[in-house]
């Protein structure tokens, strides 16, 4: 319904079906885009695949989390593009024109919340919903110069949402400024999560070393210094007993198997048309055994216990969001694969633990946005937003 004005390929070209919202409330006057994995009454939830779109009926009800935004006064302006079945990190769905990164037009937006991040970064919507299973809020936000929070797992309802990997799936959103981000957070998470927390900054050298090049390392040092000047210098913490590679394989196997279990019945029907890269991720999940799941679940539990003990009630881990700025849109399969493999090693800490992580748009590498993250204890979502608000204000005045 936004197609005529959508130079960023952010919105799907769908018939305009009225969606009611409150006339007043904390989000009154704000426009809202909704990622096409969330139900909106009267609209088909297409999940980034034309066959699924064609086979589905319009939703009878709106996903509760989206309804909260409408009830707070946000005005629905359209469904936004998503990667196919939300299982990609780049934002290049083979079935649709690729969303354009408004902050760096020659680079990818990031996925799978590609349309939502493009809509907000490009000024086509004030708020857009997304999801983060493996990084689909944090990576696009870093790529497009926005704030992005992966919420505490289970903190926001995912009823009326296409599942990908349920033990990892989380609801998220984008805005262009931290003040609106905080207002949306209060609507979705409630005042109970808004209590301030003391800050004990931490860092782990093994995470900082995952940056992909000298330019990224130099810029990360610069923006990490800005964060330290705002919240205090982080104390170096010892890494977990699990190696970075063990954590990588844990999330790869657990996520892929859960995704296969969620979508196998649909994928295995004859004549399915899917992008090969996405299909291969699902088929990898088919190879993950029950014994693998048991072993990786145990590793995940041990890591989560360790990270919870490290953070306590006040720990904030300062870390890179992703290892580099957005890859160039035409970079090719090898560059995309190298990025994805390295990015998962950073993004998996929040994913495996279920703890919240927020990325802040403080850096620039080669003219493109480059974020830095704060990872906090379970339930510290609103506190992380408040800390981000403080850091961004301090850096503006520096």
List strands edge to edge, sheet with 75-80. Answer: 75-80, 31-35, 127-131, 171-175
- Per annotation, catalytic residue among 52, 68, 88, 112: 112
Report residue 56 CA to chain centroid gap: 26
CB 188 within 8 A of CB 171: yes
Residue 222 to residue 211: CA distance in whole angstroms = 14
Centre a 10 Å sphere on the Cβ of residue 123 and count the other Cβ atoms it contains: 11
Same-domain pairing of 16 and 107: yes
Same-domain pairing of 295 and 151: no
Same-domain pairing of 168 and 235: no
Same-domain pairing of 220 and 336: yes
Residue 131 to residue 129: CA distance in whole angstroms = 7
21 among known catalytic residues? no
Same-domain pairing of 46 and 163: yes
- Dihedral sign for Cα 123, 124, 129, 131, please: negative
Our count of domains for the chain comes to 2
- Per annotation, catalytic residue among 88, 113, 136, 142: 136
Report residue 121 CA to chain centroid gap: 14
Same-domain pairing of 260 and 185: no
User: What are the helix (H) ranges across 6-60?
Assistant: 50-55
Same-domain pairing of 265 and 296: yes
- Tell me, yes or no, if the pTM score tops 0.95: yes
User: Which residue, 172, 193, 214, sits at the end of a domain?
Assistant: 193
Residue 172 sits in which domain range?
A: 3-193
Residue 360 to residue 250: CA distance in whole angstroms = 27
The pLDDT of residue 4 is 45
Same-domain pairing of 188 and 219: no
Same-domain pairing of 52 and 184: yes
253 among known catalytic residues? no
Q: pLDDT 10s per residue in the chain (398 long)? A: 444 468 999 999 999 999 999 999 999 999 999 999 999 999 999 999 999 999 999 999 999 999 999 999 999 999 999 999 999 999 999 999 999 999 999 999 999 999 999 999 999 999 999 999 999 999 999 999 999 999 999 999 999 999 999 999 999 999 999 999 999 999 999 876 555 678 999 999 999 999 999 999 999 999 999 999 999 999 999 999 999 999 999 999 999 999 999 999 999 999 999 999 999 999 999 999 999 999 999 999 999 999 999 999 999 999 999 999 999 999 999 999 999 999 999 999 999 999 999 999 999 999 999 999 999 999 999 999 999 999 999 998 76
35 among known catalytic residues? yes
User: Which residue, 193, 220, 236, sits at the end of a domain?
Assistant: 193
- Per annotation, catalytic residue among 35, 52, 79, 253: 35
Residues contacting 219, CB < 8 A, separation 6+: 363, 364, 365, 370
* Nearest in space to 328 (alpha carbons), one of 135, 86, 109: 109
Same-domain pairing of 246 and 314: yes
Q: Which CATH number do you get for residue 359?
A: 3.90.1300.10
Same-domain pairing of 72 and 217: no
CB 196 within 8 A of CB 173: no
User: Which residue, 164, 193, 222, sits at the end of a domain?
Assistant: 193
* Nearest in space to 150 (alpha carbons), one of 311, 340, 323, 349: 349
Same-domain pairing of 186 and 312: no
């Amino acid at each position: 319904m936004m197609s005529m004005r959508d130079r960023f390929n952010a919105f799907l070209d769908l018939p305009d079906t009225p969606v009611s919202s409150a006339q007043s409330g904390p989000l009154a006057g704000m426009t809202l885009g909704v990622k096409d994995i969330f139900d909106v009454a009267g609209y088909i939830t297409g999940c980034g695949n034309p066959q699924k779109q064609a086979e589905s009926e319009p939703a009878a009800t709106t996903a509760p989390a989206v309804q909260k935004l409408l009830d707070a006064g946000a005005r629905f302006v359209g469904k936004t593009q998503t990667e196919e079945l939300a299982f990609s990190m780049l934002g290049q769905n083979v079935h649709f024109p690729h969303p354009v990164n408004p902050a760096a037009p020659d680079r990818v937006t990031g996925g799978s919340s590609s349309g939502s991040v493009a809509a907000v970064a490009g000024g086509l919507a004030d708020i857009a919903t997304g999801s983060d299973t493996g990084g689909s809020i944090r990576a696009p936000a870093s790529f497009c110069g926005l704030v992005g929070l992966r919420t505490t797992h289970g903190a926001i309802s995912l009823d009326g949402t296409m599942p990908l990997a349920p033990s990892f799936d989380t609801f998220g959103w984008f805005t262009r400024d931290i003040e609106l981000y905080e207002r949306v957070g209060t609507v979705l998470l409630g005042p109970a999560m808004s209590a301030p927390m003391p800050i004990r900054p931490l860092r782990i050298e093994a995470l900082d070393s995952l940056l992909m090049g000298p330019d990224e390392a130099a810029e990360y040092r610069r923006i990490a210094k800005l964060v330290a000047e705002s919240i205090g210098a982080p104390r170096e913490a010892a890494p977990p007993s699990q190696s970075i590679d063990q954590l990588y394989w844990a999330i790869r196997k657990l996520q892929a198997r859960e995704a296969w279990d969620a979508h196998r019945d649909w994928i295995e029907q004859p004549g399915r048309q899917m992008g090969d890269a996405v299909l291969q991720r699902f088929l990898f999940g088919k190879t993950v055994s029950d014994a693998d799941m048991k072993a990786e679940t145990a590793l995940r539990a041990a890591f989560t216990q360790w990270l919870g003990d490290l953070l306590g009630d006040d720990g904030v881990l300062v870390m890179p969001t992703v290892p580099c700025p957005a890859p160039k849109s035409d970079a090719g399969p090898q560059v995309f694969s190298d990025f994805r493999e390295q990015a998962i090693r950073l993004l998996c800490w929040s994913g495996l633990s279920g703890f919240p992580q927020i990325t802040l748009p403080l850096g620039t590498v080669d003219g493109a946005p480059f974020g830095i993250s704060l990872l906090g204890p379970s339930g510290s979502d609103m506190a992380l937003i408040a800390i981000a608000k403080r850091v961004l204000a301090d850096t503006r005045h520096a």
